[in-house]
Amino acid sequence: SSSLRIVLGDQLSRDLSALDGLDPARDVVLMAEVADEATYVPHHRQKIAFILSAMRHFAAELRAEGITVDYVRLDDPQNTGSFTGEVKRTAARHKPARIIVTEPGEWRVLQAMRGWEGETGLSVDIREDTRFFASRRRFARWAADRRSYRMEFFYREMRRETGILLTPDGEPEGGHWNYDAENRKPLPIGYTLPKRQRFAPDATTREVLDLVARRFPDNFGDLEPFGWAVTRADALAALEDFLAHSLPRFGDYQDAMKRQAPFLHHGLIAPYLNIGLLGPREVCAAAEAEYREGRAPLNAVEGFIRQILGWREYVRGLYWHRMPDYAESNALDAHRPLPWFYWSGETRMNCLSEVIGQTRQHAYSHHIQRLMVTGNFALLAGIDPKQVEEWYLAVYADAFEWVELPNTHGMALFADGGIMASKPYAASGAYIDRMSDFCGSCAYKVKQKSGHEACPFNYLYWAFLIRNERVLKGNPRLAMPYRTLAKWPAERLSAITREAESFLNSLDAS
Ligand code: DLZ
Ligand code: SF4
């Protein structure tokens, strides 16, 4: 009997479980551009264009194979604007015997999917997303009985299970699991960065860019220049470009930041992985081959593979393991509204205006900028986690809730109280100065601790520790700064708190 197969905008993989066993003679694939998905957060315009264009290209590839695709466009007058509405409409049109879909990347969509049997009267087969190394069950088995989940241990199990970067006797390649200590170098002065391959929009992408310009004139973010790959073939070319020119130095300068240099040696493939144009297995295998063939050093390859085999799998496991409660915690009781400059980029703090500017231009900024600049500021300022999370989910082309939420809520904001991170990633201006060239041209002085010219990160850092003393003081990884604080007279502490409050109160909320 016939089945209706559903492919969501972040499920653009030919080996998707929802397409397993598809019979082109009888089955129909539904792909729908729906207003709900474009508006549940105010996405960056490039992110919307990227997803819609990739969806249109993927539909064309399925059709070229002889598969029937019912493709609903955003501006179709019949479009109901929601997944559920489009599933009902398509089911009524084709009268399939059942519906087959792959579990989605967001809790809210899974809730909707669970209502589809009731809505359509058809059986709905929600299949596992087999594109990940670790199933949700596999992660749950690891997480059972643990109070906190440290990525490093999960990652070692993944290495053991997959054999990636192991010696023939099952030991970690090179004798260590982790080479992070080698991966924290600032960029040398005058260093020439590799040029990155970008992809010129074709006719399909042009049409989508016009659509997005018309429908979302006021959303955050530049629409052009648009340089993302929107097909698997181009995503593979982007991967090749990264492996050949950027991977060898990826490790050394993983945490470095530089003005006007948003990409450095980063992979730029998270958007492709997260919508399904590339798979994590092929990406890890390709990176491992670079090491085995002697084209890239171990610290780079291990660092890169850890992001995918370790981090990416771990955050996804944690998301499904802890949702929906995970999103609700607010361990540091943070309630300040998101400052308007997160959207406008208008701030005299140069690090923030650089990173937000890159984000606006490219719907991208690299991990250390997300963690240690925009994330660190939100942490120190005590911004409401929900507002910060909405911003991260909206502005990055790679952001879907399964990956965005744990990274923001747990890693950047410590809002989960330490389920993910063993300490808050709080840092003063000195860290940003060491890892970037942002401070030299800043209106503030990074070495100044107080006064109107002082780098705000400096007093915000101490004010953060003072404000959260009750929750954080017992944390062994914060023993050093709390010992320092204990030596300061009470007037000094209250002066820091006053200075931080008055700075934060001067920021316009969004
Ligand atoms: C993010 C997004 C956007 C902007 N638009 C669509 C769309 O029109 N159709 C679609 O199928 N998916 C879209 N997506 C991706 C979905 O939001 C994503 O599948 C869910 O968040 C589940 O991960
Ligand atoms: Fe950022 Fe402070 Fe450096 Fe300015 S001085 S760029 S605010 S860290």
Judged by average pLDDT, the poorest of 262-266, 294-298, 383-387, 491-495 is 262-266
Q: Taking Cα atoms as reference points, which of 369, 360, 343 lies closest to residue 397? A: 360
Contact 113, 53 (CB under 8 A): no
The rounded Å distance from CA 42 to ligand 1 centre is: 13
* Ligand 1 center to 383 CA (angstroms): 27
Buried/exposed 258-285: b ≥16 CB within 10 Å, e otherwise? beebbbbbbbbbbbbbbbbbbbbbebbe
Check pLDDT > 80 for residue 204: yes
**Range of weakest confidence among 100-114, 179-193, 343-357:** 179-193
- Alpha-carbon gap, residue 281 to 376, rounded angstroms: 32
* Beta-carbon count within 10 A of 478 CB: 19
Strand partners, 69: 29
Q: Give the pLDDT confidence score for residue 221 in this predicted structure.
A: 97
Please give the CATH topology (third level) of the domain spanning 3-127: Rossmann fold (3.40.50)
Which atom of ligand 1 approaches the CA of 33 most closely? 8
CATH superfamily of 341-505: DNA Cyclobutane Dipyrimidine Photolyase, subunit A, domain 3 (1.10.579.10)
Encode pLDDT of 347-366 as tens digits.
999 999 999 999 999 999 99
Please give the distance, rounded to the nearest whole angstrom, from the Cα atom of residue 503 to the centre of ligand 1: 38
Q: What does the alpha-carbon distance between residue 505 and residue 87 come to, in Å, rounded to a whole number?
A: 47
pLDDT at 186 (0 to 100): 83
Average pLDDT (130-146) is 94
Q: What average pLDDT does range 197-220 have in this prediction?
A: 97
Per-residue confidence band for 346, with pLDDT thresholds at 50, 70 and 90: very high
Q: How far is the CA of 35 from the centre of ligand 1 (A)?
A: 9
- Mutation pick for ligand 1 pocket among 37, 76, 86, 230 (CB with most ligand atoms within 8 Å): 37
Asked whether the predicted pLDDT for residue 257 surpasses 90, the reply is no
- Kindly give the distance from the C-alpha atom of residue 438 to the centroid of ligand 2, in angstroms, as a whole number: 7
Average pLDDT value for residue range 253-274: 90
Q: Which residues contact 50 (CB under 8 A, 6 or more apart)?
A: 226, 228, 230, 271, 275, 363, 397
Average pLDDT over residues 455-481: 97
> What is the reported pLDDT for 261?
85
Determine the average pLDDT of the residues in 39-51.
98
Phi/psi of residue 30, nearest 5 degrees: -105, 125
Residues 180-207, mean pLDDT to the nearest whole number: 90
- Fold topology of 136-196+246-322: 1.25.40
Mean pLDDT of all residues in 287-305: 96
Atom number of ligand 1 nearest to Cα 7: 11
Q: Which of 397, 120, 348 is nearest to 238 (CA)?
A: 397
Residues with Cβ < 8 Å from 488, sequence gap 6 or more?
A: none
Q: Can you tell me the distance from the alpha carbon of 108 to that of 215, in angstroms, rounded to the nearest whole number?
A: 24
Question: How close is the Cα of 358 to the center of ligand 1, in Å?
Answer: 24
For residue 274, the ligand closest to its alpha carbon is 1
Whole-number mean pLDDT of the chain? 95
Residue with CA closest to ligand 1 atom 7: 33
Structure tokens at 314: 């771990």
Nearest to 341 by CA among 264, 261, 456: 456
Residue 79 is predicted with a pLDDT of: 97
pLDDT band at 145 (very low <50, low <70, confident <90, very high): confident
Nearest listed ligand to the Cα of residue 354? 2
Ligand 2 centroid – CA 437 distance (Å)? 10
Looking at 250-259, 272-281, 435-444, which range is the least confident one?
250-259
pLDDT digits (tens, 9 = 90+) for 209-236: 999 999 999 999 999 999 999 999 999 9
Pocket of ligand 2 (CB under 6 A): 349-351, 429, 432-433, 438-439, 442, 444, 446, 455-457
CA of 175 to the centre of ligand 1 (A): 42
| pLDDT score for 189 | 84
In which band, very low, low, confident or very high, does the pLDDT at 510 lie, cut at 50, 70 and 90?
low
Nearest CA to ligand 2 atom 8: 429
Alpha-carbon span 83 to 81, nearest angstrom: 7
* Per-residue confidence band for 200, with pLDDT thresholds at 50, 70 and 90: very high
Residues having CB within 6 Å of any atom of ligand 1: 8-10, 32-34, 37-38, 43, 48, 51, 104-106, 109, 400
Whether 264 shows a pLDDT value over 90: the answer reads: no
Residue 12 near residue 62, CB atoms below 8 Å: no
β-pair partners for 29: 5, 69
Q: Tell me the one-letter amino acid at 288.
A: E
pLDDT of 256 above 70: yes
10 CA to middle of ligand 1, Å? Answer: 6
The more confidently predicted of residues 189 and 177 is 177
Centre a 10 Å sphere on the Cβ of residue 119 and count the other Cβ atoms it contains: 14
Measured distance CA(464)–CA(284) in Å, rounded: 39
Describe the crossing of helices 313-322 and 136-143 by its angle, rounded to 10 degrees: 80
Ligand nearest to C-alpha 428: 2
Atom number of ligand 1 nearest to Cα 105: 23
Q: Which atom of ligand 1 is nearest to the CA of 402?
A: 23
Q: For residue 397, which ligand has an atom nearest its CA?
A: 1
Domain boundaries, the chain: 3-127, 136-196+246-322, 341-505
**Residue 155 Cα distances to 134, 139, 149, 314, 348, angstroms:** 11, 11, 11, 8, 40
Structure tokens at 480: 């050093």
Residue of the nearest CA to atom 2 in ligand 2? 455
User: Of the ligands numbered here, which is closest to the C-alpha atom of 356?
Assistant: 2
Q: What is the pLDDT of residues 312-341, one digit of tens each?
A: 999 999 999 999 999 999 999 999 999 999
Ligand 1: which of 51, 71, 106, 274 to mutate, most ligand atoms within 8 Å of CB?
Answer: 51
Q: Rounded to the nearest whole angstrom, what is the distance from the C-alpha of residue 408 to the centroid of ligand 1?
A: 20
pLDDT computed for residue 111 by the predictor: 97
For residue 489 the two structure tokens come to 């007279």
Query: Which residues fall within 8 angstroms of residue 59, CB to CB, at 6 or more apart?
Result: 29, 31, 69, 71
Q: How confident is the model at residue 128 (pLDDT cuts 50, 70, 90)?
A: very high
Q: Residue written as tokens 């509204």?
A: 337
Of the candidates 15, 404, 371, 397, the residue with the CA atom closest to the CA atom of residue 198: 397
Distance 257 CA to ligand 1 centre (A): 31
**Rg of the chain in Å (alpha carbons):** 24
Residue closest via CA to ligand 1's atom 9 equals 33
Which ligand ends up closest to the CA of 319?
1
Please give the distance, rounded to the nearest whole angstrom, from the Cα atom of residue 60 to the centre of ligand 1.
Answer: 18
Q: Name the closest ligand to CA 443.
A: 2
Residue of 257, 351, 373, 436 best suited for mutating to test ligand 2, as the one with most atoms within 8 Å of CB = 351
pLDDT tens-digit series, residues 24-34: 999 999 999 99
Nearest to 397 by CA among 132, 215, 212, 253: 212
